Structures are given as C-alpha cells and as structure tokens.
Structure 1
Amino acid sequence: MDDLKLGVIGLGVRSTLADLAHRPGAGSRLVACCDRDPQMLEKARQRFGPDVTTTTDHRELLHADLDGVFVLTPDHTHEPIGVEFLQAGIPVFLEKPLAITTAGCDRLLAVARTSGTPLYVGHNMRHMPVVVAMRKLIEEGAIGSVKAIWCRHFVGHGGDFYFRDWHADRRNTTGLLLQKGAHDIDVIHWLGGGYSRRVNGMGGLVVYGDITSRRDRAGERMTDWLDPEHNWPPSSLRDLNPVVDVEDLSMMQMRLDNGVFASYQQCHFTPDYWRNYTVIGTEGRLENFGDAEGATIKVWNRRSDYRADADLELPIPKQEGWHGGADPRLVEEFLHFIRTGAATVTSPVAAREAVAAGYAATMSLRDGGRAVDVPPPATEVATYFANGQTEDASAGSLVREAERRR
C-alpha cells in the first residue's frame, strides 16, 4: 500500500497531529508543510525529513499532489483555507471549530458537497475515553432517557492559553464561548442525541479586561510563555494580547430539537483545569470526576439524600497519547476515512451545529441574554453528509449501519 502524501498548514501546538500521521513506509507521510514562521519550517525539516517541501504560502500546497491536508491554523482562517483546498479536490482535516460563524460553516459544507471532496473536522473529544464511556452508558440505558445535561468547564490555564495571543481578539474567534465551547457543545449534542435550536447566553470580561499590561507577541508561540506553576492569581498576569475583547466568563442554556435541555458554563480563571458533565435521565444520573487519566464516572439510580458512593463507578483506564489517547484515534480515523470513505465518529454537520449554537449564544450574551433561534443546516447539505458525503442514499444506509455498530 503506497503512503498517503499529506500536507500540514500551521505548525503550532496542534501540529502534533501531523507528527502522528507521519509514518513513512507504514501508510502515510508528511511531504509538505506551511507556516509563516521560517524557524518553524526549519524545525519541520528536522521533524519530517530534509526532503519535505516547506513554504510560507499555503497556496503552494494546492499543487503539491497531496492526498490530504491538515489545516491547523488560527480559527478565522479555517473557512477561506478550507474552501480553497476543497475546491481543489484535496481531502481536508479541519481543526475545530469548523469556522467562527454559522454562515462560514454553511459555506464550507456547501463547497464540500458541490466539489465532492472529503471533509473531516477535528473534534477529538468524541474519541476521549471518558466521553466514549459516558455515551456507552447512556446507550445501554444506565440512566433511562436523557432529559438534561449540565457541563461546567474549569479552564485553569485560560489566561496563558487564550488571553496572550490571537484568541483574545474576537475578530479571530467570535468569542471563547464558541472557540473553546465548540468541543463541549458537540459533546452535549452527542450525549443528548440532538442539536440546539434555541439558546441564550450571559457572561462578560470580568478579570482579564482589568489588566492593562499588553504587548505584541508576533513570532512567539503559546509554549514560549505557558507557565502552569505560576501566573497566579489570574489578576497578576502580564503581557496580554494588545486586543482583549472576548469574555472570560460565559454561560449558555440550550433547548435541543428532541426536547433535551442543557447548560454550559465556562470560566477562564479557575485554579483547576478540567470539565464536568452531569447527565440526568428518567432513571438516574451520571457524572464524571476528572476527564483524563484517573477519571471516574459515577451513576446514581436509587433515591437518597447526599451520598458520595454511587450505585455504579466506572474508572477510566489510562490511554497513550494526548487528550487521553483521543488524538491518535482522531488521526487514524481521518487517514482511514480518506482511504476508504468509511463512516466516522466525528461529523461535519455536528461540527457546524456546535458552532451555530456557540455563535448564537455569543450573540445573545452580547445583547442582554435574549433567546436566539439556531437555524438548521440546509436539508440537502445535511442529507449529503448523512449519506456518507455522497448523494447516494443507499450509501448513507451503509454509513448509518456502521455508525450504529460503533
């Protein structure tokens, strides 16, 4: 089997995905890299070999005879770069979020359909062991029929991760309720079995907006300034991005199309860093404690007052690889998908629905918390992706059967 020839655009933190895909002689290899930083391109030659093509202009990769490309660039560039490669017929791995507006997502999905080019979105949390285990418990009826989902996201390194670079500028992200929340909104939809159709949001820039120490970090990477041991309390942080106009505290409520109600809370100045899901059904409740190595899922099915001991406790075993072993599975799924067109756990339509909910909630948050309806995708586009990125409905039945078996 010949190696798939792959390219990567953006050699920042998430380019570890490209490292996972670089398997010369074993099925896939990186042959072309793009980044605006010449130093990163020099390091790329060390990572992927001296023969790798390097460029500061991603358009040069359009003619590099690629079998697939990883787009791992800042969020506001996902839409234009993704469109170019889809139109060129090159299968695209697009890091989440799919885009920073609902309209941007819809444009990408429409171009993928009209061009017939495979599109894959990097929602790695669908491969995280703790999320997979929660979904399995729900499917097995451990808590009956799901009626409510609550998610609290404690972003303990939020200042370092999101307020010292481009993330802090809403022109690049719309806001962190969308950018960071797209993961959790997608998981809420996946666990709840539906998509948000009405949302509202509240929140604000309540800590980092008061910090006046700012500077341009052009040419730097997050790993240059990340310091998990210090930078505490959050108000002591210095050298923030010149523009800081995204919220550091956000909350949203959702009503899904199947009647499930959900809420999501995100805070970027907590001392701890993890996310907690609570899923309530007609016959019980489940909750995760921790979301990586050492995490446990607890299920309560009997009436009682407060008790820490659950009726079922499921420890999550350690997995190798970033994000609890999710990233290797994500890359493996993408490579298998572009080779075979097989069904995937991730979904471009679901990625669009996560952005649409986060975008609508951000608009609500900035307009007094009013309720906002979330528009569904065009029927013909949703059908195309439900049919396995084909207009053939019979192929779709095979995709859905494969998904059911998963």
Structure 2
Amino acid sequence: MTSQYSVQPLRLAVIGAGARSSIAQHAVRSGEGVVVAVADPSPASRERARETFGDAVRLFPGHRELVDSGEPIDAAFVTSPDHTHAEIAVDLLRAGIAVYLEKPLAITLDDADAILAAAAESGSRLYVGHNMRHMSVVRQMREIIQRGDIGEVKAVWCRHFVGNGGDYYFKDWHAERAKSNGLLLQKGAHDIDIIHWLAGGYSTLVTGMGDLAVYGEVTDRRDNSDRTMPDWFSLNAWPPLSQTELNPIIDVEDISMVTMRLDNGVLASYQQCHFTPDYWRNYTVIGTEGRLENFGDSDGAVVRVWNKRTTYDPQGDAEYRVRGDEGGHNDADRLTVAEFIDFVRDGAPTETSAVAARNAVATAVAATESLRDGSQPRLVPAVDDRVALRL
C-alpha cells in the first residue's frame, strides 16, 4: 500500500461494476481519489466501467487477478453481489488494502465474523457502507433523542414501504436465497443498524415472520444478467402483479418483519413490504417522556415530537424539517465516502461501525431463520470481544 496518503489522491479499485459501483465517483469528484482498477467477471460490466471511470483504468476479471498484478492500490470499493463479500473482503484486507464494503457485511454470520477477524488480524482498515447513519432524517432523530427531548428510549418501530421492490430486488440475484439470504437481511440490515443506533443497544433475541405473498405469482421471468437495474426500472410497472421479466429464481420473502429485544431492554420491531405503491421509511421512537415520528425520509420531510399529554394531535408539540438527502440518499453516499477517505488517510473516527454492521447481520440472519422455522424465537450471538477491541 502507498504510505503517503496525505500527498497524493488515493489509488482506488472498484470490485463489482454494477449499479452501486458509482459511489466511488464521490471520491473522484472530491479530488481525494482516482479509480485506477476495476475487477468484474463480466466483460460487459468491465467495458461499462471503462465508460464510467475512463480509458486509463485497468480492468481485471476478478479481485485476485488485481491483487496478483502488483497494481498499487490504497483502498477498494467492494460493490459486488452480497454472497461474494466475504471472500473478496478477506483477500483484500490480508493484502493490506483498505476496504469500503457495501452493506450488508455478509449474508451469513460466519462470513461476517471472518471479515472482522481478517481486519483485526491484518490491521487493514475495514469500513462498511451503512450510509443511513449519514441520512439527514436519521441524524435529526438521533439529535432529538440525545438532547433528551423524549426521555430514555424504550421502544423503536420501523415500517419500510419498499415501493420499488419489484424492480430493485426481484429481477436479479437479490431474489435468490443463495446470493442474498433474504431481504430481511439484504434490505433490512440498513434499518436494523439504525434501530440499534437510535436505541443505543444490540439485539439479543428475535422472532421473525414473512412470506412470498405477491411476486411468486408472476410467471414472466428472464435472466437479466446482461443488464443492470437502471436498464429495467420504471414507475409504470404497476400494479405489482403486472411486473414482467422477473428473475428466474425467486425464493425470498417480499413481506417480512422482526421483533427484537435489545441488550439494554429496548423493544423494537422492523417491517418491510416490497409491493407498496410508495417508497419511504417511517420510524417511531418512544421514550419515557415522549415520542418522535418521521413523515418522509428525504429533503423536505419532517420529524414531529409529542412530549405533552394529549388525545389525537397530528401536528405534535414540535416539528423539525429535514434538510438534505434530496432524491434519496445521494447526500448520505457522498458523506459516507468522505468519511471512508478520512478513515483510510489518518484513521479518523467514523459514525459507521464494522461491529455494528456485524450485529445488524447477526440480527437479520437470526430473524430470517426464525421466519422460515415457524417464527421460533432465536438468540442473536454476540461478537467476539477480542476481535471487536482490535477494530
């Protein structure tokens, strides 16, 4: 690895040239990094990467070919499919390359723990892209909680209306258990991490429930490996049963939920549905002296607080406007990448946490096991303290 981080732009690699690989452009636009290499097994994806990152970028069919090439790399953005995260991240970390790993950390708890162990043993810097910690609506809610406006948190509820779910998750590898485990993990890891963050604790006991209620009935299927999500996305694909060209294999749930007991006594729940007409998250946080709730989760949304006794009052006792995150989480992506760059350069503290990312995976994996086993409660294994202390 290069040692003079503060002098030159970081030499960056991108592993996996799919739709999310564009986040590396935030580092390029800031002048803090330059993408010098891209690895992807698909020739079409490699050519697409050349169009995105320039003709000078070196292209490789896999991450091992990149490592073996001797190309000097300071840090890599791993935006490959979830089931490949562990192998790629472990190899890069052991090679001394700092890693930005797209969430979720991994699709099994064993793989998640293997990644953390590789980071702890190698000393290479591991950063997991839980960009929601930089979303304005989340930061607004956390500030309200930390000020004590609603007292001590006792419950967190999150409803996630995934209106674009048919296009985002049921037309490619996301729809397959073997590659995503399930959407309670793949999509829910974001919100489970935020629930833990807002509540100040980690899940110890979970119960899950879910079903493939709608998209399993759609018979129009297609292998979409020659395309990426922006190629097929359309808001006109409505109602959900009118969707076409879904992935040939669909064995994940399109509606699921989990109830959680955290190690500090907080009770929480998370619910997601992939066939709603609207697309946003609604959080409710209840404390000993009030509650908060968000309405909308992007620029112009509001967070309302109730801390006086009342009957029905839709306006609440205080209202806070959300600024930023226009058009989704692009602002959060930019802030997350900037935080990663600072972390690589000088070990600056981060709002994200590899340990928290692991605990989100552990919770989601246990919840998915529960929902596929008659909703039997599952204990959530704790992280190895010896590893956590070294990260």
- TM-score normalised by the shorter chain: which range applies? over 0.9
1:21-170 alignment to 2 at 5 Å? Answer: 21-23=27-29, 26-62=31-67, 63-170=70-177
Cα deviation, residue 320, structure 1: 6.3
Asked if structure 2 preserves the Cα contact closer than 8 Å seen for 1:292 and 1:324, the reply is no
What residue is the counterpart of 2:246 in the other structure? Answer: 240
Asked if structure 1 preserves the Cα contact closer than 8 Å seen for 2:94 and 2:118, the reply is yes
Cα deviation, residue 218, structure 1: 2.1
3-state secondary structure, aligned to 1:201: strand
- Residue type of the alignment partner of 1:66: I
CA separation in 1, counterparts of 2:34 and 2:138?
30
3-state secondary structure, aligned to 2:72: coil
Asked if structure 2 preserves the Cα contact closer than 8 Å seen for 1:22 and 1:48, the reply is no
- Residue type of the alignment partner of 1:335: I
Aligned length in residues = 383
Cα deviation, residue 36, structure 1: 2.6
Kindly report the root-mean-square deviation, in angstroms, between the aligned alpha carbons of the 2 structures.
Answer: 1.3
Cα deviation, residue 67, structure 1: 0.4
CA separation in 2, counterparts of 1:254 and 1:221?
35
Partner of residue 324 from structure 2, selected from 310, 318, 325: 318
Residues 356 and 306 of structure 1: CA distance in aligned 2, closer, same or farther (over 3 Å): same
CA separation in 2, counterparts of 1:226 and 1:27?
32
CA separation in 2, counterparts of 1:223 and 1:261?
38
Partner of residue 280 from structure 1, selected from 277, 282, 286: 286
Asked if structure 1 preserves the Cα contact closer than 8 Å seen for 2:28 and 2:35, the reply is yes
Cα deviation, residue 319, structure 1: 4.8
1:164-313 alignment to 2 at 5 Å? Answer: 164-228=171-235, 230-313=236-319
- Residue type of the alignment partner of 2:183: L
Residues 219 and 67 of structure 1: CA distance in aligned 2, closer, same or farther (over 3 Å): same
Asked if structure 1 preserves the Cα contact closer than 8 Å seen for 2:298 and 2:326, the reply is no
Cα deviation code 1:68-106 (max 9, x no counterpart): 000000000001111110111111110000000111110
CA separation in 2, counterparts of 1:302 and 1:377?
40
Bigger Cα displacement from structure 2, 148-157 vs 54-63: 54-63
Cα deviation code 1:13-64 (max 9, x no counterpart): 111211111148x331111112233333233333323221112222122132
Cα deviation, residue 155, structure 1: 0.2
CA separation in 2, counterparts of 1:283 and 1:267?
31
Cα deviation, residue 318, structure 1: 3.1
Residues 80 and 254 of structure 1: CA distance in aligned 2, closer, same or farther (over 3 Å): same
CA separation in 2, counterparts of 1:49 and 1:243?
35
Asked if structure 1 preserves the Cα contact closer than 8 Å seen for 2:175 and 2:250, the reply is yes
Asked if structure 1 preserves the Cα contact closer than 8 Å seen for 2:165 and 2:274, the reply is yes
CA separation in 2, counterparts of 1:162 and 1:321?
19
- Residue type of the alignment partner of 2:115: L
Asked if structure 2 preserves the Cα contact closer than 8 Å seen for 1:177 and 1:358, the reply is yes
CA separation in 1, counterparts of 2:218 and 2:327?
36
Partner of residue 9 from structure 1, selected from 4, 11, 15: 15
What residue is the counterpart of 1:340 in the other structure? Answer: 346
What residue is the counterpart of 1:403 in the other structure? Answer: none
TM-score by length of 1: 0.92
Percent identity over the alignment is 57
Asked if structure 2 preserves the Cα contact closer than 8 Å seen for 1:72 and 1:95, the reply is yes
Asked if structure 2 preserves the Cα contact closer than 8 Å seen for 1:126 and 1:346, the reply is yes
Cα deviation code 1:117-172 (max 9, x no counterpart): 11000000000000011001100001000000000000001111111110000000
3-state secondary structure, aligned to 2:88: helix
3-state secondary structure, aligned to 1:384: coil
Moved over 4 A (4+): 319-322
Asked if structure 2 preserves the Cα contact closer than 8 Å seen for 1:321 and 1:328, the reply is no
- Residue type of the alignment partner of 2:62: D
- Residue type of the alignment partner of 1:47: T
Unmatched tracts of structure 1, length 5 or more: 386-406
